[in-house]
């Protein structure tokens, strides 16, 4: 039954990744946050996770170790009419490439779908084994 834990851990990790990417996309034009500057892009860092209670078994899942902020500097654009423009008319914008975020979202979605298929295939194999055991 530990195979379900592997798939479940990957589903949870990809869900967090998709939420993080969605947050990046939603804030691609946010010039002022509670911290005072523009929104800073975030990314998810994964790490392996032991899913069995027996350390001799090397069955690992995945977990989100942390959500980190991107260290790229903000993009400055000249827009003197913007409410967040500085005294020279420049606005600091988040360094978020929406197309890159869409590609990341598609990759996360594909990984999520693959884990759903893996979970369902494992479930089907267990159901077949139970049926054979009843005969």
- C-alpha–C-alpha distance, residues 88 and 73, integer Å: 18
51-81 pLDDT, tens digit per residue, is: 887 777 788 899 999 999 999 999 999 999 9
22-54 pLDDT, tens digit per residue, is: 999 999 999 999 888 999 999 999 999 988 877
**Residue 3: other Cβ atoms inside 10 A:** 17
Total-model pTM? 0.86
């Amino acid at each position: 039954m530990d195979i379900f834990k592997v798939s479940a851990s990957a589903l949870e990790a990809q869900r967090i990744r998709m939420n993080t990417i969605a947050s990046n996309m939603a804030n691609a034009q946010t010039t002022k946050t509670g911290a005072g500057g523009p929104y800073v892009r975030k990314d998810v860092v994964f790490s392996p996770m032991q899913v069995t209670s027996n350390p001799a078994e090397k069955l690992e899942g995945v977990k989100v170790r942390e959500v980190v902020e991107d260290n790229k500097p903000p993009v400055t654009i000249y827009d003197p009419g913007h409410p967040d423009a500085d005294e020279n008319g420049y606005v600091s914008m988040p360094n978020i490439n929406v197309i890159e975020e869409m590609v990341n979202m598609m990759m996360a979605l594909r990984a999520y779908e693959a884990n759903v298929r893996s979970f369902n295939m494992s479930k089907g194999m267990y159901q077949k084994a139970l049926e054979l055991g009843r005969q």
